[in-house]
């Protein structure tokens, strides 16, 4: 079962269970997936799991930003609603890498690319970009770009 099919199935289950919060979140993500499919190749397109995970991460990021804004604006009830949606969406993503796994993955990517360890200013942004690309491919969605970038900078410097 693909990720899109799983979301459709869970949407139906949420309807049957009359779970309004989960239903609303799944409807929003289903809409975002449909928009991604249309952008990809028309209204009848079906998106793969990799594209669906990108859409889910984008939706999670939007909700994290919204929750932070609500917290700053003194609206904790709205921030809590956004965090509940993040919990629903996170269930569809693979488990995140631990710090040790992330470090090992980046070391493999550095060796694969042949980047030299040393001062990042001397090494250059080109090597950082090459390592980042290789690391993202290896992580396959189990780590966000921010944590990958921070770990790469730490290991290259």
Q: Which domain holds residue 27?
A: 3-90
Average pLDDT over residues 11-16: 96
Which pLDDT does position 122 carry in this prediction? 47
C-beta of residue 24 within 8 angstroms of C-beta of residue 35: no
Q: Which string of DSSP letters, residue by residue, matches 85-131?
A: HHHHHHTTSPPPPPHHHHHHHHHHHHHHHTPPPS-HHHH-HHHHHHH
Query: Do 38 and 72 share a domain, yes or no?
Result: yes
The radius of gyration computed from the CA coordinates of the chain, to the nearest angstrom, equals 19
- The pLDDT value given to residue 119: 45
Q: Are residues 65 and 111 in the same domain?
A: no
- Average pLDDT, integer, range 87-96: 88
**49/115 same-domain check:** no
Hunting for tokens 């709205």 — which residue is that?
A: 78
pLDDT in tens, 38-87: 988 776 778 888 888 889 989 999 999 999 999 999 999 999 999 999 99
Number of domains comprising the chain? 2
Same domain, 84 and 103: no
- pLDDT for the residue 117: 57
Please report, for the domain that includes residue 20, its CATH number. 1.10.1510.10
Residue 16 binned pLDDT confidence (cut-offs 50, 70, 90): very high
pLDDT, tens only, 108-157? 888 887 766 554 444 566 777 888 888 888 887 777 778 888 888 887 76
Same domain, 80 and 28: yes
- Tell me the pLDDT band of 24, cut-offs 50, 70 and 90: very high
Question: Same structural domain for residues 43 and 74?
Answer: yes
Tell me, yes or no, whether 110 and 151 share the same domain.
Answer: yes
Q: How far is CA 62 from CA 74, 75, 101, in A?
A: 18, 17, 26
């Amino acid at each position: 079962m693909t990720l899109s099919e799983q979301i459709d199935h869970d949407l139906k289950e949420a309807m049957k269970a009359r779970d309004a919060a989960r239903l609303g979140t799944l409807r929003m993500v289903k809409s975002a997936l449909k928009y991604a499919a249309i952008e990809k190749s028309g209204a009848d397109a079906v998106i793969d799991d990799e594209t669906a995970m990108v859409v889910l991460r984008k939706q999670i990021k939007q909700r994290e930003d919204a929750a932070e804004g609500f917290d700053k604006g003194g609206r904790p009830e709205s921030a809590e609603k956004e965090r509940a949606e993040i919990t629903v969406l996170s269930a569809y993503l693979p488990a995140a890498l631990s710090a040790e796994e992330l470090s090992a993955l980046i070391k493999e990517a550095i060796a694969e690319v042949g980047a030299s360890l040393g001062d990042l200013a001397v090494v250059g942004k080109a090597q950082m970009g090459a390592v980042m690309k290789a690391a993202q491919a290896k992580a396959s969605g189990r780590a966000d770009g921010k944590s990958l970038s921070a770990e790469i900078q730490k290991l290259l410097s």
